[in-house]
Structure 1
Amino acid sequence: MTSQIKRGVSLYSFQNETFQGKMTLEDCIRTCAELGARGIEVIGEQTFWGWPEVGVNQADIDNWHKLIKQYDCVPVSHDYMLDYKRYKGRPMPFEEQVASVRKDIDFGAALGMPFIRSLVSIAPEVLIAAAPYAEEKGIKLLTEVHAPLHFDHPWIIRMAEMFQKSGSPALGFLPDMGMFLDKFPPVWRAKFERMGVPVHIADYIVKAYEDRVLSEYVILEVQNMGGVGPAIAMAETLRHNAAFEPKRMLDYMPMIHNIHGKFYEMTADYVEPSIPYDKIVAVLSQGGYDGYICSEYEGNRWIEDAEEPDSVEQVRRQQVMLARLLGEPETPALKAAA
């Protein structure tokens, strides 16, 4: 049975290729369309030159809509950044934060986005203040629930309670699947070993992660093993990552409207070795989720010191995995170059 869940891609996945000038916006959207991943998510600063400080030319917005229509794709989300703690050398006052969010709401609306992603650090009071304007523009403000936070974290519980108390339908959540990191990613380990972490220490950290040993104990033990520098850094990744329970999404499903399909590596047999997507998709299906899972490749930064990332192939592999898990009859494939 085919799921109602839809496939998409965050163009953040292609950050290496777009930064190096190897892929244009059209290349990105065409690639997604060929893979049947028609939901398109963007980070404004990556996709549109000049955003947010300078602004975006209307011609660039018109080109966006032309490409979306040409390749039969669907705008999903504009992921905006509100870096209020370091704004022009001073904290950004509350009123300016709200005004900044409204600016991103306008930009998301101009791109035809139903959602814009809010960083989890943005105070709920700011989002609640901006919510009426979002409602006017037909936009939902989705706070990204991202490791080390999770749906049992006090900050997220507080947010959910305040969102519900506000009564605004414009407030919700966007879970990042990295919070369900079941195993220590092999590409992480390989990078740390290239940085000089001894194999026996790497073995210990990987096993400790799988045994769910408290991160502080792991760091202390690595120090006792003589680990320094990169070894301590490898152990400290446990502070920011954990294998939280996908089923906790069920209690929040009415407030979940988009999903970041975080992944660090897709093997040749279409497996993400560190994130249990079979369990994740089963939970989303159980909860009646019918929105997009947008591929978000972040393995590039872990391998680029040793090899050139092939983000397109990595995204293709994840889309194959997702299509299979969703019960789709055809396997996503890229068209051969002419």
Structure 2
Amino acid sequence: MTSEIKRGVSLYSFQHETFQGKMSLEDCFRTCAEMGALGVEIIGEQTFWGWPEVGVEDAKIDEWHGLVAKYGATPVSHDFMLDYKRYKGRPMPFEEQVASVRKDIDFGARLGMKYIRALVSIAPEVLVAAAPYAEEKGIKILIEVHAPLHFDHPWIIRHAEAFEKSSSDALGFLPDMGMFLFKFPPVWKERFIRNGVPQHIADYIETAYEDRVLSEYVILNVREMGGEGAALGMAETLRHNAAFEPKRMLDFMPRIHNVHGKFYQMDEDLVEPSIPYDEIVRVLKQGGYTGYICSEYEGNRWIEDAHEVDSVEQVRRQQEMLKRLIGEPAPTALAA
């Protein structure tokens, strides 16, 4: 069954290659186009060096639009940061927070973005105050629902209530699929073992996660097993990750406009072993979602100590999986 769900890539997926100078911005665009993933999402600080502390020259913006046109891409989202609690050694006042969001709205508009991603830590009052300006610019501000938060968390409910009270269509949600971590990622376990976690403790933590044992009990048990350092660090990951239910997206679907296709590894069978993408896509279809799922590869940091990182291959595999799950028709062969 086909759907109107579209495929995209967050260029954050290529952070390893970008940082090492192995991929230019055009390389990123070309790679996405070759995969048929024409939606492009960015983190401004990664793609445009110096942002937001310094302005971005018109030449860089022109280069961006040139690549969009050359590869038939669609700008999807500018993922902005607002670390207001540590701004210049002081808390950022409310008015400055709103002004900062307006600055990112302007930047997103320059890039032709439909959305800008807001960090989950931003208070709903700030986003509501910025919403009228976003409406003027034709931009929607999407708060990222990211583990350990989820759609039943009081902080997210507070945002939902504020958005509805505002009656603004410019406010919405961007769910990150990392909140549906049904199994402990194998690449995490392998990295922790390389970091010194004894096999029996690593096995226990993995099983405890899948059995949904309360994280505080797991941490206590690991300590009693003699675990310390890396072992406690592995146990601590259970505080920040959980297997929330994809179906909870359904009640929020009218305000869900973009999806982060978080993943940590794709095996050769085109399966993400820790995140149930078959169920996720089924729910998105059920909810009538028609936006993008943008690949967001974050496995590089878990393997770079022992293996060559190949973000492109990992993203390619996820895109192949998404094509199947979405029901995207195969290209029609040209007649000889």
Report the TM range for the smaller structure's normalisation. over 0.9
State the distance in 1 between where 2:309 and 2:251 align: 37
Displacement of 1:327 in angstroms is: 1.1
Counting only pairs closer than 5 Å after superposition, residues 251-290 of structure 1 correspond to structure 2 as 251-290=251-290
Query: Equivalent residues in 2 for 1:231-310 (5 A)?
Result: 231-310=231-310
Runs of 4+ in 1 over 6 A off after TM superposition: none
Q: CA RMSD in A?
A: 0.7
C-alpha distance in 1 between matches for 2:236 and 2:39? 35
1:315-326 to structure 2, matched below 5 A, reads 315-326=315-326
Q: Distance in 1 between matches of 2:330 and 2:29?
A: 20
Give the corresponding residue for 1:147. Answer: 147
What does residue 189 of structure 2 align with?
A: 189
Question: How big is each residue's C-alpha offset from its partner over 1:168-208, in whole Å with a ceiling of 9 and x where there is no partner?
Answer: 11000000000000000000000000000000000100000
Shift of 1:242: 0.2
Q: Which runs of 5+ in 1 are unaligned?
A: 332-338
CA deviation profile, 1:196-226 (whole Å, cap 9, x unmatched) = 0000000100000000000000000000101
Distance 1:85 1:30 in 2: 38
Partner residue, 1:95: 95
Q: Which residue of 2 aligns with 1:336?
A: none
Q: Which amino acid aligns with 1:11?
A: L
Aligned counterparts of 1:173 and 1:328: Cα–Cα separation in 2: 25
Q: How far apart are 1:240 and its partner, in Å?
A: 0.2
Identity of aligned residues (%): 80
Report SS of the residue matched to 1:9: strand
The letter for the 2-side match of 1:267 is D
Q: Secondary structure at the match of 1:56?
A: coil
Correspondence list, 1:129-168, <5 A: 129-168=129-168
TM-score scaled by length of structure 1: 0.97
1:1-338 equivalent positions in 2, closer than 5 A: 1-330=1-330
Question: 1:115-158: per-residue Cα shift (whole Å, max 9, x none)?
Answer: 00000000000000000000000000000000000000000011
Partner AA of 1:209 in structure 2: Y
What's the offset of the Cα at 1:329?
A: 2.7
Counterpart secondary structure, 1:308:
coil
Deviates more, 1:289-298 or 1:47-56: 47-56
- Secondary structure in 2 matching 1:172: strand
TM-score by length of 2: 0.98
Q: CA deviation at 1:307?
A: 1.4
Q: Distance in 2 between matches of 1:29 and 1:85?
A: 34
CA distance in structure 2 between the aligned counterparts of 1:327 and 1:8, rounded to whole angstroms: 15
Q: What's the CA shift for 1:330?
A: 2.7
Partner of 2:334: none
* Residues 268-309 of structure 1: CA deviation (Å, up to 9, x unaligned): 110000000000000000000000000000000001111121
Write the distance in 2 (CA, Å) between the matches of 1:321 and 1:32: 15
1:113 is matched by which residue type in structure 2?
Answer: M
Q: How many residues align?
A: 331
The separation in 2 between residues aligned to 1:288 and 1:3, in whole angstroms, is: 8
Q: Partners in 2 of 1:225 and 1:49 — Cα distance?
A: 46
The match for 1:335 is none
Q: What amino acid does structure 1 have at the position aligned with 2:130?
A: A
1: distance between equivalents of 2:163 and 2:15?
A: 32
The one-letter code matched in structure 1 to 2:319 is: Q
Separation in structure 1 between the aligned mates of residue 279 and residue 47 of structure 2, nearest angstrom = 32
* Separation in 2, partners of 1:90, 1:308: 40
| In 1: Cα distance, 2:318 partner to 2:55 partner | 33
* SS of equivalent to 2:267: coil
Shift of residue 3 of structure 1? Answer: 1.3
- Structure 2 distance, partners of 1:330, 1:294, is 20
Determine the C-alpha separation between the residues in 2 that align with 1:276 and 1:50: 37
